């Protein structure tokens, strides 16, 4: 009888510890991607907040070539229905050897099932080259 009580108490204590631990990774899951092309590279990291929100998005892009062109980076997401959403570009025009950094968030009422980035090299408004990183699935789905 005494052993049975200890087992019940131990199981209850273990459940009290494991339930919060099991719930925490989904609420604080992170994503990180990068890509590079001739003339520039970029990367991003974020926290998956829910099925519809990315928070603490950090975007960075680097200009690796003194050629008069400049790099830009944007977030690319896939909505719940499969449609691709291209977010606005962030342009870095400070010149070769420089890095642009942005902190932002993204919310889409149609859902964010996957997320990634595109880095594009521009000559003025003309797109010259683009690279894309593999997309990361949202753990809330």
User: For residue 55, what is the domain's CATH number?
Assistant: 2.60.40
Q: Tell me the pTM.
A: 0.80
Is 82 inside any structural domain?
Answer: yes
Q: Is residue 89 part of a domain?
A: yes
The domain containing residue 68 runs over which residues?
Answer: 28-137
Q: Highest mean pLDDT range out of 6-10, 27-31, 126-130?
A: 126-130
Give the distance from CA 128 to its chain's centroid.
24
Number of domain units in the chain: 1
Within-domain flag for 53: yes
| Structure confidence by residue, pLDDT tens digits, 107-130 | 999 999 999 999 999 999 999 999
Residue 74, domain member (yes or no): yes
Cβ neighbours for 83, distance < 8 A, ≥ 6 positions apart: 110
State how far the Cα of 132 lies from the Cα of 77, in Å rounded to an integer. Answer: 12
Q: How far apart are CA 60 and CA 102, in angstroms?
A: 6
């Amino acid at each position: 009888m005494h052993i049975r009580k200890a087992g019940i108490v131990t199981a209850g204590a273990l459940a009290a510890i494991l339930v919060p631990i099991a719930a925490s990774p989904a609420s604080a899951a992170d994503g990180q991607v990068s890509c590079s092309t001739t003339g520039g590279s970029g990367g991003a990291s974020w926290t998956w907040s829910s099925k519809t929100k990315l928070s603490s998005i950090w975007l960075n892009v680097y200009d690796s070539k003194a050629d008069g062109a400049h790099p830009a980076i944007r977030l690319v997401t896939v909505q719940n229905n499969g449609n691709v959403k291209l977010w606005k570009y962030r342009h870095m025009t400070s010149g070769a050897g420089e890095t642009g950094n942005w902190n932002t968030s993204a919310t889409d009422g149609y859902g964010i099932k996957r997320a990634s980035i595109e880095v594009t090299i521009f000559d003025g408004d003309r797109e010259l080259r683009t690279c894309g990183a593999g997309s990361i699935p949202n753990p809330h789905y």
